[in-house]
């Protein structure tokens, strides 16, 4: 079946492309694609060189950088391409290199029925020339293969229905009764696979370290299992695609399966890039900030913005509290880091502050999962501060959750308070200072079996001075809470109207609670 210009818009790399002129040319056949930076056609034998470079019915991929400010020269390019029977022109970085096409260019394309396709810079920053080239040639190579077209159509349908890359790989692997694994060459991490969890662990332990995954292609038998591998680059990833054939099965149609698997990787490459978060997260936590800064390049927004991160315990949740935030970010086309550290789920992203959209999603996610606590640091404008605070929160997650034991969401300033408290707890003088400041409450509770200290801790640390919330947590009437707080303030000889005293009391309560928890843990 012949590939037409209209067909290439279904490719993942071109799903945000726009046909802005020459709409009547969408039925032009496509034989392939060529990448070439266009220049003035009347200089240095440019026309002759173009004739050698471009085959009939190929799509030209370019940014028109050398003629970006000249509608006349852009028209010259289009006329010559049309005379050479090109299928059309795909212009990258539209809005950045060519800011806007002149009406003369658009009219010429309409007149010649020459498709002019643009990839807006703001919408397609992560699409590379090679992505378009590879996908067009994969589509073209098997254009007359009904199995390939069925597989591609199946992938498009799976993606449209919100399916995962694993769903698509299973569809590709099923007819041949084999397994497929996609390996990140840099980290030797299994990005996605049709293998079961147990089989992945066995594969990683027994075979992954031996297979030559960095070579362009290989065929190898290991313990009776046949491995076929091909290297494939897409976007930010260098991957090795493995076909794993069990002893009882015959050799698969490797060319066909590899072509489908490569397209699958290209379709879901954004999601696969996100799985590299483990290496970035671990670089931050291990203090390898040079590596972290380098890995962060893909996720960093050129226009800047605030950094945010969320952490929750994987033992209490499969990451459910983070799903709504991830969906919102995908909807806004924001790249995010998703990774793990020991038992923790983490996501990290750069985004402008909003009017509570993410806050509401975080709150909704937490409420849906009983007992889970979530660290949510929003609005960090310095990457070094973000690295430091994320590292502290991940390494001390248990202690932070214990300190803020009655909070479901632990925010940025709670984390800063916990960090300050952790430093102070290492100083014996800070512990004594906290005890001295709170001594009137300690003595009062001892003599009267009272709960002034506990009430004040919950009131200030956990409930942001909310009498209603404190009464709910302690199952006591609000009037009782108000009496205890007034009595505690009276014994401390201060007023919460005084900012300095409130800050010192809050800090002392945090240090006291954390040290009491440590002492209780040691006594077990």
Instruction: Flag whether pLDDT at 201 surpasses 80.
Output: yes
- pLDDT score of 335: 80
In the predicted model, what is the mean pLDDT of the chain?
85
Q: Which helix (H) or strand (E) holds 308?
A: strand 306-313
Give tens-digit pLDDT for 315-350: 776 667 888 888 888 788 788 888 888 788 899 999
DSSP string, 452-519: HHHHHHIIIIITTT-HHHHHHHHT--HHHHHHHHHHHHHHHT--TTSHHHHHHHHHHHHHHHHHHHHH
- pLDDT score of 251: 75
Cβ–Cβ < 8 Å for 232, 265: yes
As given in the structure block, the two tokens for residue 412 are 């940025």
Instruction: Flag whether pLDDT at 7 surpasses 60.
Output: yes
> What is the C-alpha to C-alpha distance for residues 506 and 321, in angstroms, rounded to an integer?
29
Kindly state the percentage of the chain with pLDDT values over 90: 40
Mean pLDDT of 360-386: 89
Alpha-carbon torsion (369, 373, 378, 384), positive or negative = negative
SS3 376: strand
Q: With CA atoms as reference, report the closest residue to 43 among 88, 97, 80, 85.
A: 80
Give tens-digit pLDDT for 135-168: 887 777 655 566 777 777 788 788 778 788 889 9
Mean pLDDT of 403-423: 92
Q: Which helix (H) or strand (E) holds 413?
A: helix 412-425
Mean pLDDT of 506-517: 88
How many other C-beta atoms can be found within 10 angstroms of the C-beta atom of residue 364? 12
Kindly state the percentage of the chain with pLDDT values over 70: 91
Q: Which helix (H) or strand (E) holds 405?
A: none
- pLDDT score of 94: 93
Mean pLDDT of 79-107: 93
Give tens-digit pLDDT for 224-282: 899 999 988 765 577 899 999 877 667 778 888 888 888 888 778 767 765 667 778 88
Q: With CA atoms as reference, report the closest residue to 309 among 358, 343, 355.
A: 358
- pLDDT score of 376: 94
Cβ–Cβ < 8 Å for 151, 172: yes
- pLDDT score of 40: 60
Confidence of residue 24 (pLDDT cuts 50, 70, 90): very high
As given in the structure block, the two tokens for residue 258 are 């590899």
Confidence of residue 112 (pLDDT cuts 50, 70, 90): very high
Instruction: Flag whether pLDDT at 523 surpasses 50.
Output: no
Give tens-digit pLDDT for 432-449: 898 999 999 999 999 988
Q: With CA atoms as reference, report the closest residue to 301 among 279, 326, 329, 280.
A: 329
Please name every residue paired with 21 in a beta bridge, in sequence order, or none if there are none.
116
- pLDDT score of 524: 42
Instruction: Flag whether pLDDT at 291 surpasses 50.
Output: yes
As given in the structure block, the two tokens for residue 400 are 């932070």
The distance between the two most distant Cα atoms of the chain, rounded to a whole number of Å, is 99
- pLDDT score of 400: 93
Mean pLDDT of 461-475: 93
Q: What is the DSSP letter of 101?
A: -
- pLDDT score of 408: 92
Question: Could you tell me the strand order of the sheet in which 306-313 lies?
Answer: 336-341, 344-351, 306-313, 374-380, 409-411
DSSP string, 355-371: SSHHHHHHHHHHHTSTT
Mean pLDDT of 107-118: 95
């Amino acid at each position: 079946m012949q590939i037409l210009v209209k067909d290439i818009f279904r490719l993942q790399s071109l799903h945000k492309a726009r046909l802005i002129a020459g709409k009547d040319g969408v039925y032009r056949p496509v034989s392939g694609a060529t990448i070439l930076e266009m220049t003035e056609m009347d200089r240095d034998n440019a026309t002759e060189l173009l004739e050698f470079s471009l085959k009939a019915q190929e799509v030209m991929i370019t940014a028109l950088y050398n003629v970006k400010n000249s509608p006349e020269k852009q028209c010259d390019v289009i006329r010559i391409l049309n005379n050479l029977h090109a299928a059309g022109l795909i212009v990258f970085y539209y809005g950045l290199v060519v800011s806007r096409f002149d009406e003369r260019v658009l009219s010429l394309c309409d007149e010649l029925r020459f498709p002019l396709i643009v990839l807006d810079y703001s919408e397609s920053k992560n699409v590379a020339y090679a992505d378009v080239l590879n996908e067009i040639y994969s589509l073209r190579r098997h254009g007359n293969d009904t199995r390939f077209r069925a597989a591609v159509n199946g992938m498009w349908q799976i993606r449209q229905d919100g399916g995962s890359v694993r769903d698509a790989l299973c569809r590709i692997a099923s007819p041949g009764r084999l397994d497929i694994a996609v390996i990140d060459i840099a980290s030797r991490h299994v990005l996605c696979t049709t293998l079961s969890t147990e089989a992945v662990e066995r594969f990683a332990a027994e075979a992954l370290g031996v297979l030559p995954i960095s070579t362009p292609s290989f065929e190898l038998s290991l313990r009776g299992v046949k491995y076929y591998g091909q290297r494939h680059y897409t976007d930010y990833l260098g991957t090795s695609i493995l076909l794993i054939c069990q002893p009882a099965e015959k050799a698969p149609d490797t060319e066909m399966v590899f072509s489908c698997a490569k397209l699958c990787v290209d379709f879901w490459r954004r999601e696969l890039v996100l799985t590299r978060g483990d290496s970035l997260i671990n670089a931050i936590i291990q203090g390898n900030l040079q590596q972290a800064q380098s890995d962060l390049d893909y996720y960093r927004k050129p226009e800047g913005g605030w950094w945010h991160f969320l952490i929750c315990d994987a033992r209490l949740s499969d990451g459910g509290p983070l799903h709504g935030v991830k969906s919102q970010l995908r909807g806004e086309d924001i790249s995010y880091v998703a990774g793990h550290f020991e038992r923790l789920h983490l996501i990290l992203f750069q985004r402008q502050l909003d009017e509570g959209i993410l806050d509401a999603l975080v709150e909704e996610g937490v409420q849906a999962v009983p007992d889970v606590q979530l660290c949510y640091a929003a609005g960090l404008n310095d990457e070094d501060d973000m690295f430091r605070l994320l590292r502290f929160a991940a390494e001390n997650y248990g202690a932070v959750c214990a300190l803020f034991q009655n909070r479901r969401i632990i925010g940025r300033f709670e984390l800063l308070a916990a960090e300050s408290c952790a430093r102070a707890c290492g100083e014996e003088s800070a512990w004594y200072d906290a005890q001295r400041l709170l001594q009137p409450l300690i003595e009062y509770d001892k003599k009267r079996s009272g709960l002034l200290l506990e009430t004040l801790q919950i009131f200030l640390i956990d409930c942001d001075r909310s009498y209603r919330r404190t009464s709910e947590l302690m199952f006591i009437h609000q009037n009782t809470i108000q009496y205890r707080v007034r009595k505690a303030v009276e014994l401390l000889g201060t007023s919460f109207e005084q900012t300095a005293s409130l800050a010192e009391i809050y800090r002392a309560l945090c240090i006291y609670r954390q040290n009491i928890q440590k002492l209780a843990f040691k006594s077990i």
